[in-house]
Amino acid sequence: MQIQVEGRGLSALAPRFRGLATPLVIDHMGRVPPELGVQYPGFQALLALLREGNTWVKLSSAYAMSKRPYPYDDVAPFAKALIEAGPSRVVWGSNWPHPSYKGVPPVDATQLDLLAYWAPAEMRQRILVDNPAKLYGFPSV
């Protein structure tokens, strides 16, 4: 199951998420406003869910969360913390065609370039290939 949740609601929803019998993908990095910081209880709840093993997070929509221009430096600490907490439970997404974004949509290639800023090369293979294959049951290549 994939959902979007407002970051401020993560703490309250975490107990329900833990009880799900199906893998859960939380989209848009949990949508925690960057000004709240990575120590925000809702984001800490998301990190705990990632570490516990039935929750996945999609690294997407940094442009929509950020209050800064590309490369969205205020979002980078969130992406890096998610990768560190759940290296085998993060996947990447472009969010194309950016359906609810009211601004000028980003160039999708630049969104992929962010991954080089957030994760070392060996981790990018996991995020882009290995983890999605495991989550979605893609055949091994």
What pLDDT score was predicted for residue 100?
83
CA distance 60 to 67: 15
Residue 65 — φ and ψ, nearest 5°?
-85, -35
What pLDDT score was predicted for residue 134?
95
The reported pTM is 0.95
pLDDT for 136 beyond 90 = yes
pLDDT range class, residue 141, cuts 50, 70, 90: low
What pLDDT score was predicted for residue 21?
93
Tell me the pLDDT tens digit for each residue of 57-106. 999 999 999 999 999 999 999 999 999 999 999 999 999 888 888 888 89
Window from 39-43, 71-75, 123-127, 136-140 with minimum mean pLDDT: 136-140
Tell me the pLDDT tens digit for each residue of 22-53. 999 999 999 999 999 999 999 999 999 999 98
- Domains (range + CATH), the chain: 2-136 (3.20.20.140)
- What are 104-108's contacts with CB under 8 Å, separation 24+? 106/63, 106/70
C-alpha 119 chain-centroid distance: 13
CA distance 129 to 87: 12
